[in-house]
């Protein structure tokens, strides 16, 4: 949908003046890709509230601002950062959008595992990167993935070769550190798993500051036949930040992807998670959790495209809202005509802790095959007074009872995180921002 209300040209021009890299550094195909991104974004502009996909997510606070590129490359909040990172795990760090070799841990990687920054990968393996970056039709991109295509400079490139198994958690960290307000970063991450490869990846967006900035990220994930991936995304941005991210996962036959999308930070955040099940027997399990308060807004849009026969997708998203916060969940499931014997489940459950928070939840099923099983559901509720009283009569304080119940509520999402290291990190990040989820007894 073409929007007219907001002015994309002005937004782009401001950024183009201060483009961080001269065109000469880049191979022509990449310059071309950026130009295509600019063109696509200029054509479609920012989504306006009339756009069904953005009906409940007003991005005016973002579009009204003028952003600039950061220049600081150091971490001011080292202590918090060090607490969060485990340097015994393969880790690639980006500070304010810049790759940091110093804080990354990329030595002694497993056989068959490549982790590097994308800008380096463009130099080392231009052909592969070019083909991967052009895999998505730029003319189909939505506003913010087009914007990212126009301006991305770096991000993580992770390749796991055929049959390789990486047992350690791979951690991608995008940290925004203390600097002037209103900077913007455009991380672009590229992940490819070869046939029957296995990996667990955590993608973190963090800031241990209160500054205002804009993260516009895109992650493209390619999962080949029989490969198995656990992908955790932890969004713990500054509470004044904006985070608009797209993740596009393409799965071949008999591959399995489990995603966990956690959102607690940012004033406005949105995850557009789209999964294309491109081969028979592909399985996608999408779990998500959002916990927001104050004036935060969190939006999760998922889109699953069942193309071949016999694929499976399940989704479980849970949300806890407090204060004047708002949340959006929109789960689209497309079952194409050829996709017979598709199984697809979707469930979104929410707890509202205050009378002034809002949740907009919507399933969106488009089914063209006749032999399928699709179910969906959504619940919105409050904490149950009887449950709280029950716990109180056992000697448990009211606030502790509340925490126990909330932790019980999210347990079937957080409890499904098989990787202990990822679970610990996500738990730390979430509870720092949303203390009511601190469950340790």
Partner 1 sequence: MLEIKNLYAGINGVSILKGVDLTVNPGEVHAIMGPNGSGKSTLAKVIAGHPDYKVEQGTMEYEVNLKKLDLAAMEPEIRAREGIFLAFQYPVEIPGVNNSVFLRAAFNEICRHQGAEEMDPIEFDQYLRQKMKLLEMDEKFIDRPVNVDFSGGEKKRNEILQMAILAPRLALLDETDSGLDVDSMKIVANGVNKLKSKNNAIVLITHYQRLLNYIVPDFVHVLSDGKIIKSGGKELAIKVETQGYDWLI
Binding positions for partner 1, rule: CB under 8 A: 384-387, 389-398, 400-401, 404-405, 407-412, 415, 441
Q: Which residues pair with 12 in a beta bridge?
A: none
Nearer to partner 1, 19 or 397 (CB): 397
Query: 332: which residues sit within 8 A by CB, 6+ positions away?
Result: 301, 302, 303, 304, 364, 365, 366
**DSSP secondary structure, 345-389, as one string:** EEEEEEEE-STT-EEEEEEEEEE--SS-EEEEEEEEE---HHHHH
Shortest Å, Cβ 77 to partner 1:
33
Residue 8 sits at φ, ψ, to 5 deg, of -70, -35
Nearer to partner 1, 381 or 435 (CB): 381
Shortest Å, Cβ 315 to partner 1:
19
CA distance 410 to 422: 16
Closest by Cα among 412, 411, 417 to 201: 417
CB of 204 closer than 8 Å to CB of 243: no
Shortest Å, Cβ 394 to partner 1:
4
Shortest Å, Cβ 393 to partner 1:
5
Shortest Å, Cβ 440 to partner 1:
11
CA distance 145 to 259: 20
Nearer to partner 1, 2 or 441 (CB): 441
Q: Which residues pair with 379 in a beta bridge?
A: 349
For residues 103-142, b (16+ Cβ closer than 10 Å) or e, as one string?
A: bbbeeeeeebbbbbbbbebbeebeeebbebbeebebeebb
Shortest Å, Cβ 80 to partner 1:
29
Shortest Å, Cβ 439 to partner 1:
9
Shortest Å, Cβ 379 to partner 1:
12
Nearer to partner 1, 215 or 348 (CB): 348
Nearer to partner 1, 224 or 431 (CB): 431
Nearer to partner 1, 5 or 418 (CB): 418
CA distance 30 to 122: 9
What residue spans of 105-186 are helical by DSSP H? 118-124, 126-133, 143-151
Nearer to partner 1, 338 or 411 (CB): 411
Residue 247 sits at φ, ψ, to 5 deg, of -130, 130
Shortest Å, Cβ 389 to partner 1:
6
Nearer to partner 1, 368 or 400 (CB): 400
CA distance 19 to 94: 18
CB of 300 closer than 8 Å to CB of 288: yes
CA distance 132 to 127: 9
CA distances from 232 to 24, 142, 265, 285, 423 (A): 36, 23, 15, 12, 9
Shortest Å, Cβ 404 to partner 1:
6
Nearer to partner 1, 134 or 389 (CB): 389
Residue position matching structure tokens 């455009």 = 186
Nearer to partner 1, 286 or 406 (CB): 406
For the record, the structure tokens of 158 come out as 């992770």
């Amino acid at each position: 949908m073409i929007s007219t209300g907001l002015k994309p040209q002005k937004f782009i021009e401001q950024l183009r003046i201060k483009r961080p890299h001269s065109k000469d550094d880049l191979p022509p195909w990449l310059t071309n890709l950026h130009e295509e991104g600019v063109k696509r974004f200029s054509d479609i502009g920012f989504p306006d509230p009339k756009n069904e996909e953005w009906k409940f997510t007003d991005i005016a606070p973002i579009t009204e601002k003028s952003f600039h590129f950061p220049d600081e490359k150091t971490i001011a909040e080292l202590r918090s950062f060090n607490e969060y990172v485990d340097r015994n795990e393969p880790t690639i760090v980006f500070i304010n959008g810049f790759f940091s070799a110093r804080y990354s841990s990329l030595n002694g990687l497993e056989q068959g595992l490549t982790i590097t920054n994308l800008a380096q990968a463009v130099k080392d393996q231009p052909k592969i990167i070019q083909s991967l970056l052009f895999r998505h039709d730029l003319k189909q991109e939505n506003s913010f993935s087009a914007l990212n295509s126009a301006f991305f400079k770096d991000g993580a490139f992770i390749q796991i070769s055929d049959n390789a198994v990486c047992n350690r958690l791979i951690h991608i960290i995008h940290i925004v550190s203390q600097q002037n307000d209103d900077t913007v970063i455009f991380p672009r991450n590229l992940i490819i798993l070869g046939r029957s490869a296995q990996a667990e990846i955590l993608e973190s967006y963090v800031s241990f500051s209160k500054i205002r900035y804009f993260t516009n990220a895109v992650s493209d994930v390619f999962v080949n036949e029989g490969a198995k991936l656990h992908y955790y995304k932890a969004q713990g941005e500054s509470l004044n930040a904006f985070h608009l991210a797209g993740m596009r996962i393409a799965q071949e036959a008999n591959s399995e992807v489990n995603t966990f999308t956690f959102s607690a930070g940012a004033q406005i955040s949105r995850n557009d998670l789209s999964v294309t099940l491109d081969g028979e027997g592909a399985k996608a399990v999408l779990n998500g959790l959002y916990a927001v308060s104050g004036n935060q807004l969190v939006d999760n849009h998922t889109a699953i495209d069942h193309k071949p026969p016999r694929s499976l997708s399940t989704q479980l998203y849970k949300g806890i809202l407090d204060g004047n916060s708002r949340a959006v969940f929109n789960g689209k499931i497309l079952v194409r005509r050829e996709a017979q014997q598709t199984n697809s489940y979707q469930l979104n459950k929410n707890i509202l802790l205050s009378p002034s928070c809002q949740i907009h939840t919507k399933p969106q099923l488009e089914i063209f095959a006749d032999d399928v099983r699709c179910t969906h559901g959504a619940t919105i509720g409050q904490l149950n007074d009887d449950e709280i009283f029950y716990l109180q009569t056992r000697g448990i304080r009211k606030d502790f009872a509340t925490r126990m119940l909330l932790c019980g509520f999210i347990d079937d999402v957080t409890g499904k995180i098989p990787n202990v290291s990822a679970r610990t990190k996500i738990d730390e990040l979430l509870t720092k921002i949303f203390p009511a989820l601190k469950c340790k007894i």
